[in-house]
């Protein structure tokens, strides 16, 4: 029964006004706030440069604002008509303003002029930085640029540009790139913004070659939401399509490297560096493409995983699955040691820190799917086929390697003798068949 209690007119007016303007967040959101469960220290916040609205106006990032304006000036200087070009750029951003606002998971509390200025300055900064980097790579120029001459400044900015919360819509960047084309944009065969971005961010952790950037497939246009997704696509682009396995397979881990070695599994560094995540298991041999674990690699992979977690699309769980798989394979320092010997892992960290590297990355993740479900199934079926050797290994580990008493040793020896006798009987029977 509805109450006839009198409600305050001011309250009713306020609520009615809010209801008139209420609308759900746009479904096209692609730039997210990272959930607290995925944050670790400050690896989700920029250290030097703010891009986009989420960290806009932060006091500790203001030093780079003047550098951004200078980069905008450098970019405009290369155009035939600076004043008209600036007007044209502003109009382009205004045209896409609503689309750009909808790309962010949260409402952006900036006026139209503030928002357009932020998009223009940040976008032109990124475009000019990528172009300067290409000139720096091929002609060793840009010597007077503080970003290229100050130790660690370029690497810090590179990390900042790959943060989930520090992104601009790709549509903005692509428009700015095309409108401000310069004479050397087609030098060295790099003709698209995608190629320019992949050159800048190449080999942050995974082994990629410049030839891969110049491959015909990379020159094709593709759908991307922002720079981070572009780099992610560069890493996973050659992965074959697989049916993503649901949560039940995720909760069935495979044994560690040490355990797999004991039952006869071999590990080989894959020669094919085009498919960085293409880990395979055939006939007892696991092939893994080499990975370089750098000092800043955790920040890079953590943001790729955070992006996948935010999108909540099971078919885009590649990096999350990669971290989960390695967290299963690497349990002990000995596992790291072996993978280093096999040239599968190259690390700038200590072996102890490397051993916990993927455990730290996979903590707090929610697996909506597992990209390596088929591989896990093949490994576990291989283990079942070698059930006798598997049991022998477990008995040795549980009773002989860490004996707690005389009885544990004697029991272990007895079990080993029984299993060995069983194996001998099976061998003899198969011979007479």
405 pLDDT band, cuts 50/70/90, is very low
Mean pLDDT of the region 206-213: 50
Q: How far is CA 141 from CA 185, 199, 210, 226, 266, in A?
A: 15, 16, 20, 28, 47
Per-residue pLDDT at 210: 43
Q: How high is the mean pLDDT of the chain?
A: 80
Model confidence at 366, pLDDT cuts 50, 70, 90, reads confident
Which residues have a Cβ under 8 Å from the Cβ of 227 and sit 6 or more positions away?
A: 126, 161, 162, 167, 168, 170, 173, 197, 201
Which helix (H) or strand (E) segment holds residue 346: the answer is: strand 345-347
Q: Are residues 230 and 279 in the same domain?
A: no
pLDDT band at 242 (very low <50, low <70, confident <90, very high): low
Same domain, 82 and 215: yes
For residue 366, give the 3-state DSSP assignment: coil
Cα separations (Å) of 307 from 46, 242, 317? 16, 20, 10
Query: Per-residue pLDDT averaged across 273-291, rounded?
Result: 87
Q: Do 297 and 257 lie in a common domain?
A: yes
Cβ burial, residue 300 (10 Å; 0-12/13-18/19+): buried
Residue 193 lies in a domain: yes
Q: Which of 175, 206, 236 is the last residue of a domain?
A: 236
The answer to whether residue 62 is domain-embedded is yes
Q: Which stretch, 96-110, 210-224, 412-426, has highest mean pLDDT?
A: 96-110
The reported pLDDT for the residue numbered 277 is 86
Least confident among 18-22, 103-107, 173-177: 18-22
Per the document, the length of the chain is 433
Per cent of the chain over pLDDT 90 is 41
Does pLDDT of 217 surpass 60? no
| Residue 93, pLDDT score | 96
Number of domains in the chain: 3
- Ranges of beta strands (E only) in 167-241 are none
Which of 236, 256, 283 is the endpoint of a domain?
A: 236
Contact between 372 and 279 under an 8 Å Cβ cutoff? The reply is yes
Do residues 338 and 408 share a domain? Answer: no
For residue 25, being part of any structural domain is answered with no
Residue 69 has pLDDT above 70, yes or no: yes
> Cβ(154)–Cβ(49) under 8 Å?
no
- In 312-356, alpha helices (H): 318-329, 333-341, 351-355
Residue that finishes a domain, picked among 236, 261, 279: 236
| CA atoms within a 13 Å half-sphere pointing along the CA-CB vector of 138 | 16
Cβ distance 153 to 48 under 8 Å?
yes
Query: 259: domain range?
Result: 247-385
* Adjacent-strand bridge partners of 104: 31
The answer as to whether 56 is a domain residue is: yes
Q: Are residues 143 and 49 in the same domain?
A: yes
- Give me the phi and psi of 389, to 5 degrees please: -65, -35
Q: Is 300 domain-assigned?
A: yes
Report residue 367's pLDDT band, with 50, 70 and 90 as the boundaries: low
What would the mean pLDDT of 17-46 be, rounded to a whole number? 71
Residues 121 and 158 both lie in one domain: yes
Whether residues 351 and 372 fall in one domain: yes
| pLDDT bracket for residue 125 (50, 70, 90) | very high
313 and 222 inside one domain: no
Phi-psi sector, 76: left (phi>0), alpha (psi -120 to 50), beta: alpha
Mean pLDDT in residue range 402-412:
51
In angstroms, the CA 304 to CA 244 distance is 18
30 located within any domain: no
Residue 41: pLDDT band with limits 50, 70, 90: low
Do both 279 and 208 map to the same domain? no
For residue 244, is pLDDT > 80?
no
R_g of the chain, CA atoms, integer Å: 28
pTM value is 0.80
The phi, psi pair for 374, rounded to 5°, reads -65, -40
| Least reliable range by pLDDT among 218-232, 302-316, 325-339, 418-432 | 418-432
End-to-end CA distance of the chain: 85
Whether 396 is covered by a domain: the verdict is yes
Residue 213 lies in a domain: yes
Instruction: Give the pLDDT band of residue 219 (cuts 50, 70, 90).
Output: very low
Query: What one-character-per-residue DSSP string does 246-298 give?
Result: -HHHHTSPPPPHHHHHHTT-EEEE-S--SSTT--EEETTEEEE--EEE-TTHH
């Amino acid at each position: 029964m509805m109450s006839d209690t009198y409600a305050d007119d001011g309250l009713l007016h306020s609520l009615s006004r809010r209801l008139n303007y209420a609308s759900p967040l746009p479904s096209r959101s692609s730039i997210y706030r990272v959930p607290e469960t995925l944050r670790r220290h400050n690896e989700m916040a920029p250290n030097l440069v703010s891009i986009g609205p989420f960290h806009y106006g932060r006091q500790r990032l203001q030093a780079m604002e003047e550098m951004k304006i200078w980069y905008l000036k450098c970019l405009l200087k290369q155009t035939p008509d600076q004043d008209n070009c600036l007007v044209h750029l502003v109009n382009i951003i205004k045209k896409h303003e609503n689309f750009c606002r909808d790309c962010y998971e949260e409402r952006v509390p900036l006026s139209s002029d503030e928002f357009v200025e932020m998009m223009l300055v940040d976008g032109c900064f990124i475009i000019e930085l990528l172009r300067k980097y290409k000139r720096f790579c091929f002609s060793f120029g840009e010597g007077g640029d503080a970003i290229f001459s100050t130790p660690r400044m370029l690497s810090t900015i590179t990390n900042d540009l790959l943060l989930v919360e520090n992104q601009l819509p790709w549509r903005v960047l692509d428009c700015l790139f095309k409108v401000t084309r310069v004479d050397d944009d087609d030098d060295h065969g790099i003709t698209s913004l995608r190629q320019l971005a992949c050159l800048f961010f190449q080999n942050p952790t995974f082994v990629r070659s410049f030839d891969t950037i110049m491959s015909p497939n990379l020159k094709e246009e593709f759908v991307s939401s922002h720079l981070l997704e572009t780099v992610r696509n560069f890493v996973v682009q050659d992965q074959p399509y697989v049916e993503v396995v649901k949560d039940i397979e995720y909760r069935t881990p495979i044994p560690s490297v040490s355990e797999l070695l004991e039952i006869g599994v071999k590990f080989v560094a894959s020669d094919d560096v085009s498919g960085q995540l293409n880990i395979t298991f055939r006939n007892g041999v696991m092939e893994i493409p080499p990975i370089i674990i750098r000092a800043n690699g955790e920040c890079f992979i953590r943001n790729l995983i955070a992006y996948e977690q935010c999108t909540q699309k099971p078919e885009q769980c590649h990096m999350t699955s990669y971290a989960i798989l390695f967290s299963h394979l690497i349990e002990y320092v000995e596992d790291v040691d072996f993978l280093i010997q096999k040239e599968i892992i190259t690390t700038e960290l200590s072996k102890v820190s490397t051993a916990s590297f993927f455990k730290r990355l996979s903590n707090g993740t929610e697996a909506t799917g597992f990209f390596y479900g088929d591989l896990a199934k093949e490994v576990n079926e291989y283990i079942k086929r070698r059930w006798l050797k598997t049991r022998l290994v477990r008995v040795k580990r549980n009773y002989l390697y860490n004996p707690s008493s005389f009885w544990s040793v004697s029991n272990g020896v007895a079990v080993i003798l029984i299993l060995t006798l069983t194996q001998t009987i099976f061998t003899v029977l198969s011979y007479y068949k």
